[in-house]
Amino acid sequence: MSESAGENAGADIGPDEAARDLLIEVVDTPSVTGEEAEAAQVLVEFFEAHDREVWIDEVGNVRAPADDSVLLTSHIDTVPGDIPVRVERVPPEEARFGGGETADSEDGEEQLWGRGSVDAKGPLCSMAVAAVRTGVSFVGVVGEEVDSRGARYLVENRDEVPGAVVNGEPSGWDGITLGYRGLLAGTYVATSESGHSSRPENNAIQDAIDWWSRVEDEFAHDEWVPVFERVTCKPISFEGGASDDGLSVEATVDVQLRVPPEYTTEEVRELADGHLTNGTVHWHDAVEPVMQNPRTAVARAFRAAVRQTGGDPRLLRKTGTSDMNIYAQEWDCPMVTYGPGDSDLDHAPDEHVSLAEYDRAVAALEAATDQLLD
């Protein structure tokens, strides 16, 4: 495992037709959040065909328990968006992955287009294939794109903590994600007496604007501070104006704050609440940030597996939030997030994944899992 990426660049990773067939079928089965049942059944049939115990639990997760030394898990649901499912071959100069290292590079690259091909059916199917081939546990969860209800149900109802967790999200086949920021979401509401617009005192709309400006100033950073290390503040929606009876002015603002590992969501909440002069905030969602040590057994196994399959591993920190945050908050075990695909294509109208990259991710997942089982 000590060879450099350059020495391993010729690793022979050819087309994995069985793994590709599963991915194409799952991508071709729509599974917008709340409508995952049909795609879940495709996964059930895949595990049954390989003589694995499998069932769908009360919230719709696909559960395939086995060797719990490793749990491979990713989400079944996607955001809305109709992208015709197709496999296209593009010339080498248009390839997104691998250049001369891909098995089919002389003839170009095959790309699978379709909603979810990147986020996160590529990671999901690569994990299902690796789970069957290595004999470890697998869960396909629902609801990640909205409220992570599948992951929340899993941590509440699973009897034992797994030995290690690999969460599936696109990182690029040579990328290993160790950290995600957390999330604090709330709704600010203020009311003031109605009056002529010439009056100098603030109305509720001005109170809302002033509060949010003070919150943004509280968490302002110099530009040189990496985004991952910042609290970033984002208003999601704003409504304001006279009440229906005309006797008051009302303002409602939905807000989200992304929380780096330097803070807890409670610390950020207290700082934001400290700037209230009028109105209240109902904080309705709090997900803690996560940052894993790069020296854990699972992180080391993935670095070695990426090198073994021809790559130079990249350690990543993501500025968003994933189900890994949920697992890290409840389970005291090492974990990473991993999966094929360019995360810049998440939710995009041109979402597609290189099938050669997907093949290589399957191989890396198998290699890393085998190492963790030794």
Residue 317 predicted with pLDDT over 80: yes
Residue 314 predicted with pLDDT over 70: yes
Average pLDDT, whole number, for the chain? 92
Check if 17-181+290-373 and 182-287 are the same fold: no
Are 56 and 43 in contact by the 8 Å Cβ rule? The answer is no
Average pLDDT of span 319-330: 96
What gap in Å lies between CA 365 and CA 124, rounded to an integer? 11
List CB contacts of 374: < 8 A, sequence separation 6 or more.
none
What does the pLDDT read at residue 335?
Answer: 98
What gap in Å lies between CA 123 and CA 300, rounded to an integer? 19
Average pLDDT of span 301-329: 96
Report pLDDT digits (tens) over 44-78: 999 999 999 999 999 999 999 999 999 999 999 99
Residue 1 predicted with pLDDT over 50: no
Which fold, 182-287? Alpha-Beta Plaits (3.30.70)
At 247, is the pLDDT very low, low, confident or very high (cuts 50, 70, 90)? Answer: confident
What does the pLDDT read at residue 95?
Answer: 81
At 11, is the pLDDT very low, low, confident or very high (cuts 50, 70, 90)? Answer: low
What does the pLDDT read at residue 7?
Answer: 38
What does the pLDDT read at residue 52?
Answer: 98
What gap in Å lies between CA 45 and CA 349, rounded to an integer? 30
Looking only at the bridges linking them, the beta strands covering 136-141 and 67-75 are parallel
No. of H helices and E strands in the chain?
9, 16
The token pair at 33 is 């959040």
| Largest interatomic CA distance in the chain | 76
At 9, is the pLDDT very low, low, confident or very high (cuts 50, 70, 90)? Answer: very low
Looking only at the bridges linking them, the beta strands covering 335-338 and 182-193 are unpaired
Report pLDDT digits (tens) over 250-283: 999 999 999 999 999 999 999 999 999 999 999 9
Q: Which residues are catalytic?
A: 77, 144
Q: What is the pTM of this model?
A: 0.89
DSSP state of 8: T
Average pLDDT of span 311-334: 96
What does the pLDDT read at residue 201?
Answer: 74
What does the pLDDT read at residue 13?
Answer: 77
Residue 4 predicted with pLDDT over 80: no
Report pLDDT digits (tens) over 159-196: 899 999 999 999 999 999 999 999 999 999 999 876 54
Domain boundaries, the chain: 17-181+290-373, 182-287
Report pLDDT digits (tens) over 286-297: 999 999 999 999
At 200, is the pLDDT very low, low, confident or very high (cuts 50, 70, 90)? Answer: low
What does the pLDDT read at residue 187?
Answer: 98
| CATH number attached to the domain at 17-181+290-373 | 3.40.630.10
Tell me how far the alpha carbon of residue 278 is from its chain's centroid.
Answer: 36
Average pLDDT of span 107-135: 96
Residue 103 predicted with pLDDT over 50: no
Average pLDDT of span 5-21: 70
